[in-house]
Every structure is written in C-alpha cells, then in structure tokens.
Amino acid sequence: MDEQLNHQTSQPFRVPGTTDHRFYDRHWFEAISSDGEVMMLAGMGTYKNMGVADGFMVVQRARQQKNVRVSRMLENDMRASVGPLSIDVLEPYEHLRVSLEPGDYPIAAELEWRSVYPVYLEAPHYTFNDGRVVQDTNRYDQIGSWSGWLEVDGERFEARDWWGVRDHSWGVRPDVGGFEPANGRRRETLLWLWTFATTDELCVHFQLREDASGNVKHFDGEVFYPASDGRPSMRIARVDHQIEFIPGTRDWTRLHYDLVLEDGSVLGMDAEALQSAWAYRGTGYENGYEDSKGVGVVRGDLIEHDVVDLSIPGKVTRQGAPYFPGHREQPARVTIDGRIGFGHLPVMSSGYIERYNLGRK
C-alpha cells in the first residue's frame, strides 16, 4: 500500500493518524439462509497501535451458537488473514470471499459475497464528552447475496443466493484494546436502533439514537430502489417505533417502524425475530475471548471455540451455566409495504428506558 499514491498522513500505512490505542479497522458480515434456519456472522479487525489482528466466525442453527475466535500479532502483515480465517476483496465493493478452513472446531466455510446495492456511507460518528474523544468513526454498509458452502458439525449447507449484509468501519471507538479510559461517570442512557433490511422491491437503512426521554441524538436513513426501478433514493425524515420485548430482557420479538420519508409519505415496516439475537460476546466483543479482555488485545497466535445455548428466549448459557452475552443484535424476517424480506435489526440500550421499561431505574 505504501507504493501507491494514496497516503493520508505523513506516515507509512502501518502507522495510523492517531496514537489512540483504540484505533481499529474492521470488516463485518452477516448471512441468512433462504429458509432462515442457518445464520452466520464473520468479522476481522486490525488494531495498529496494539499490534494485533483478530477475527471470528459464528453460526446459529436451532438456537445453538457455535463460535470460533482467532488472534495473531500484526507486525507488518496487513493482510485480512488470521490463522484459518481470511477475507479477500476480489473486486472492491462488488465481490468478496470469506473463508474458514476446517479444523478442531464445529464450523467451516467458503462463501462469496456479491453486491446487490451500492455501498452506503453512514453519517460520521463523533462523540466528545468530558474533554476527550469517545468515538470518531466512519462506516459504510452494503446489501449483497452469498454463494458457496457452510459446514456445521460436519453437515454441509449449500448457499445459493442467501441474504447478506456487510459493513466496513474504522476509527476510534470504545471497548477496543482491552480497556476504556474512565472518569467515574455513569454511562449515557441511550436507545439505539439500527436497521438494514430489504425486499425484492427496496432497501431500507437507518440508525436512530435517542436519550432516555426520546430526544433524538443522532439520525441517518435512506430508502433505496434497484437500479432497474429507475426511482431515486429517498431520505428518511424520522422513524416512529413500537417494540415488543421479552419480559425482563432487552431482546425483542416483534416490532413496527413507521418510516416517515422526506416527501411526507409513510412506509410501514414490520419485523419478527429469527431464531435468537446473537450473543455478541461469542465473537470476542463485549469482554469476549476466554481471558474476558475483548478485541484488540495481545494474545499471540490463538484459535479458540465454544458453543452457547440460546434455546431459552432472553437467556444465554454455556455448558449449562449462565453466560453474559454482551450486546444482542437480531436478524429478522421483515415485511415492508406488504413485501417480505430479511433484515439485521439491532435494538440496543444502556441505562433505563422508561417507554419500554428497559434496564434499572
């Protein structure tokens, strides 16, 4: 990369433009089979200031989540490859490959992702609190389809036009590199809705962040149509939400969004949870890995795997013991304007959200 004329700072590509230990650069992918019975998450990140690369592939089937996590020292090897897991960009924004070689763990894959819609660059994420930058990131997202194969416990599933979404994000964010600077203050109370969903007629993306009183802190959203349709994209002005949660949990079962478009029209969207929300700690996020230190931490060359049980709605166990799952992100079957499709619809919160009686007062 240093041979190309694309430098952004006076330093080589190996050196980021900030010394913040939390600087990261990460791919993320999701796949949902056509019948919704098999789902996959995969991701990989580099943490230049920590000198680490790590990644994961996890599969959910019959409410069992099989996890494989990998890590290595970064040194000067900037390839998106960690042990048996690799991500290859075959044609930028059009064609990528995600592979997990078979090994002493329950899953393996050789999957190729092809774009269906162009990438969407989200509005920048920047948070400055108490005299320091808490978050300064960019992220683009894209809808695509998967082909290839995925193996779970020796059973092979052929992927033919499976639904897929991916993102690529980079910058500085909390919970990277093993610790987060703290000043003793409580975490911000927040409700965060993020949606990427499609039918055969359109694609919807938005993210909404509200405080405990429902005041909008951040919003970005758009409706896209296939190129063959000829209609231009339409900005979303606001989203009104009604969400049904599993009592005593932050996991949702059904929801309804009214997408108010910039021309004043309203697009209705209903969603039903598929299987269970992902237990994100299994990917390494949220104090994941066996050492409970999370992503971007020096571990040397490492491959580890486990299985978590999601069969009881709203609860997660591992080997029969309660398991703190970290944040939950929910794949879903959606209906938009009467047409059925799939989507990735996280509903995440911190602190007490009075409207839904989430969290502690």
Considering only the top CATH level, what class is 23-356? mainly beta
Report whether pLDDT(183) > 80: no
**Inter-residue contact 183 to 130 (CB < 8 Å):** yes
Which residues are 358's β-sheet partners?
353
**Inter-residue contact 360 to 302 (CB < 8 Å):** no
For the chain, give the mean pLDDT: 94
Helix (H) or strand (E) holding 98: strand 95-100
Q: Give the whole-angstrom CA distance, residue 134 versus residue 125.
A: 10
% residues pLDDT > 90 (the chain): 82
Q: State pLDDT tens for residues 190-201.
A: 999 999 999 999
pTM for the whole structure: 0.94
**Inter-residue contact 39 to 29 (CB < 8 Å):** no
Q: State pLDDT tens for residues 252-273.
A: 999 999 999 999 999 999 999 9
Which residues are 332's β-sheet partners?
273, 343
Amino acid in the structure at residue 251: D
CA atoms within 13 A on the CB side of 32: 27
Report whether pLDDT(134) > 90: no
Look at the block and give the residue holding tokens 């709203």: 314
In terms of residues, how long is the chain?
361
Q: Give the whole-angstrom CA distance, residue 345 versus residue 30.
A: 12
Q: Give the whole-angstrom CA distance, residue 162 versus residue 280.
A: 22
Six-digit token string for 227: 């190129």
pLDDT of residue 185: 59
Q: How far is CA 118 from the centre of its chain?
A: 18
Q: Quickly count: other Cβ atoms within 10 Å of residue 296's Cβ.
A: 26
Question: Per-residue confidence at 356, pLDDT binned at 50, 70, 90?
Answer: very high
pLDDT of residue 130: 75
pLDDT of residue 278: 97
